[in-house]
């Protein structure tokens, strides 16, 4: 007999096909076989009865055909993740549009932004998605110039695929690989100054200028603005009116006050299209959906390469901090739920002040 701290493990072999329990550094592990593949899994306990219960449940799952590691493909993991997001109505689940058809996708297909790069594992069975294979994936993405944050997003999605299978389908933990996450990149700090905004406004197509103006003065996300309806615009509220952003990224509605410039842009838009439901529309009255090409062309004309639409949101958040608006009020204005995210912009403001102090010091030393 082999003694342990809290129990006794029989040295005697268990009957064939019933699995095995063994001690590993004071922690009990279980071992069993599935389709000729040996599965080892920590029971996370030193109590024999708990380990026996886990082994019994695993063996039952094997008999029922639930645990079949060798038959689980990457595609199966990916599809389960999409189904989970769809069931929970997760905002990150997107649908392919018309422009994606040029890349070989079908219009209307579901996807999550961080997942398509993982299709490099297409055709893999889960036992082949090892830590070594993941490291090779990371290296290929880095060669392609993808940021650490972008790579980490894909790794997090892959990790969730595995743990969904463990949680929902009693998949054993042992085939789940280690995910070597990378150090996060510093958050982007680019945003448009007033001068840059005016240059971009001039370079942008006239039909898209109201969208730029409202984004510049409200900090609303692109998706929130493109879903805006006239029923959610109230010109009579407050000094210059309010818009209600429905079904936002955080799952709640948000009231955002309009500045005089934003109100003026919306009034002109309403006068030009009095009978449409969507606020931001093209000349023909159809809703604006995708304007990436027009945005990139305008940036090039304005000499503002690599500026992103999300930078408009960063600008509002930073300006609120510089104006001394209390943190909680500023978060309500922009819709930030995570205070850590919001405080990144205060750090950006501080960085700008440091740069200003350096410029002042340099100027003074010259005199």
Give residue-wise pLDDT tens across range 91-148.
Answer: 788 888 777 777 778 888 888 989 999 999 999 988 789 999 999 999 999 999 998 9
- pLDDT above 90 covers what percent of the chain? 37
**What's the CA gap between 153 and 158, in Å, rounded?**
9
Q: What is the pLDDT of residue 1?
A: 35
**DSSP state for residue 92 in the 8-state scheme:** T
Which range, of 5-9, 16-20, 149-153, averages the lowest pLDDT?
Answer: 5-9
Element (H, E) at 81: helix 74-87
| Chain centroid offset of residue 326 CA | 27
Closest to 158 measured CA to CA, from 124, 118, 128, 127 = 118
- pLDDT for residue 351 is more than 60: no
Q: What is the pLDDT of residue 319?
A: 72
Q: Which two tokens stand for residue 98?
A: 């018309």
Q: Which two tokens stand for residue 249?
A: 């990224």
Whether the Cβ atoms of residue 312 and residue 291 lie closer than 8 Å to each other: no
Whether the Cβ atoms of residue 84 and residue 50 lie closer than 8 Å to each other: no
Phi/psi for 59 (5° steps) reads -65, -35
Element (H, E) at 234: strand 233-234
* 327 CB burial (10 A radius; 0-12, 13-18, 19+): middle
Phi/psi for 336 (5° steps) reads -80, 125
- At residue 367 the predicted structure's pLDDT band, cuts being 50, 70 and 90, is low
**What's the CA gap between 265 and 210, in Å, rounded?**
5
Closest to 77 measured CA to CA, from 214, 169, 197 = 169
> What's the whole-model pTM score?
0.54
Looking at per-residue confidence, does 39 or 319 come out higher? 39
Q: Which ranges in 275-309 belong to alpha helices (H)?
A: 292-302
* Strand-pair category, 110-112 with 93-95: antiparallel
Torsion of Cα atoms, 40 then 42 then 46 then 50, to 10°? -90
Q: In what order do the strands lie in the sheet with 242-245?
A: 233-234, 242-245, 254-257
Looking at per-residue confidence, does 54 or 329 come out higher? 54
Torsion of Cα atoms, 315 then 321 then 327 then 331, to 10°? -10
- pLDDT above 70 covers what percent of the chain? 76
- pLDDT for residue 10 is more than 50: no
Give residue-wise pLDDT tens across range 192-241.
Answer: 888 888 999 999 999 999 999 999 888 888 888 999 999 999 999 878 89
């Amino acid at each position: 007999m082999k003694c342990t701290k809290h129990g006794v493990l029989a040295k005697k072999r268990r009957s064939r096909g019933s699995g095995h329990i063994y001690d590993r550094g004071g922690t009990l592990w279980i071992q069993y076989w599935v389709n000729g593949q040996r599965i080892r899994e920590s029971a996370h306990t030193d109590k024999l009865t708990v380990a026996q219960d886990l082994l019994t449940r695993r063996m039952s799952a094997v008999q029922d055909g639930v645990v079949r590691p060798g038959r689980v493909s990457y595609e199966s993991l990916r599809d389960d993740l999409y189904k989970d997001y769809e069931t929970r109505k997760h905002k990150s689940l997107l649908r392919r549009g018309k422009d994606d058809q040029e890349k070989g996708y079908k219009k209307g297909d579901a996807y999550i932004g961080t997942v398509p790069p993982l299709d490099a594992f297409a055709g893999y069975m889960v036992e082949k998605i090892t830590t070594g294979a993941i490291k090779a994936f990371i290296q290929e993405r880095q060669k392609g110039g993808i940021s650490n944050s972008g790579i980490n997003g894909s790794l997090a999605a892959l990790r969730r695929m595995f743990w969904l299978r463990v949680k929902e389908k009693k998949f054993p933990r042992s085939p789940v690989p280690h995910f070597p996450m990378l150090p996060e990149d510093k958050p982007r700090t680019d945003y448009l100054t007033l001068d840059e905004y005016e240059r971009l406004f001039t370079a942008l197509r006239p039909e898209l200028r109201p969208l730029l103006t409202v984004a510049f003065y409200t900090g609303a996300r692109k998706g929130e603005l493109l879903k805006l309806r006239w029923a959610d615009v109230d010109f009579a509220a407050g000094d210059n009116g309010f818009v209600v952003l429905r079904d936002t990224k955080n799952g709640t509605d948000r009231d955002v006050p309009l500045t005089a410039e934003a109100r003026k842009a919306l009034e002109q838009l309403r006068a030009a299209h009095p009978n449409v439901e969507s606020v931001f529309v093209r000349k023909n009255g159809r809703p604006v959906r995708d304007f990436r090409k027009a945005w990139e062309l305008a940036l090039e004309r304005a000499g503002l390469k690599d500026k992103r639409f999300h930078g408009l949101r960063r600008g509002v958040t930073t300006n609120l901090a510089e104006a001394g608006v209390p943190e909680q009020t500023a978060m309500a204005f922009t819709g930030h739920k995570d205070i850590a995210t919001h405080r990144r912009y205060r750090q950006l403001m501080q960085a700008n002040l440091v740069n200003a102090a350096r410029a002042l010091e340099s100027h003074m030393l010259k005199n």
